[in-house]
């Protein structure tokens, strides 16, 4: 949806970008048992930790301040790849 929306909104001077987040240290993950967090962290490539909210904010700031980035989907997930079920 990012690219079609960017194309539709370009005449209005509106850019559309999306962030595909992985695991971040947020209140929902703070409620998890440590063994669950360790299990989830095993799917991260590098770094092998949950992301910090400030790291997410840094990407948002970059995407907003760089006028040339448009119609982009950025994975912010430490290379996480979940195995098939």
| Structural domains counted in the chain | 1
Q: Does residue 44 form part of some domain?
A: yes
pTM of the model: 0.88
Q: Does residue 85 form part of some domain?
A: no
Cα–Cα distance for residue pair 80/47, rounded to 1 Å: 10
For residue 22, the model assigns a pLDDT of 95
- pLDDT-above-90 percentage for the chain: 88
Q: Does residue 60 form part of some domain?
A: yes
Cα–Cα distance for residue pair 23/7, rounded to 1 Å: 30
Q: Does residue 66 form part of some domain?
A: yes
Q: Per-residue pLDDT for 79 more than 90?
A: yes
Q: Does residue 83 form part of some domain?
A: no
């Amino acid at each position: 949806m990012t690219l079609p929306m960017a194309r539709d909104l370009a005449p209005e001077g509106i850019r559309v970008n999306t962030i595909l987040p992985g695991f971040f240290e947020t209140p929902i993950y703070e409620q998890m048992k440590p063994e669950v967090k360790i299990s989830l962290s095993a799917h991260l490539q590098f770094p092998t930790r949950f992301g910090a909210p400030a790291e997410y904010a840094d990407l948002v700031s970059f995407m907003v301040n760089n006028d040339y980035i448009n119609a982009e989907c950025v994975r912010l997930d430490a290379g996480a790849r979940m195995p098939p079920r």
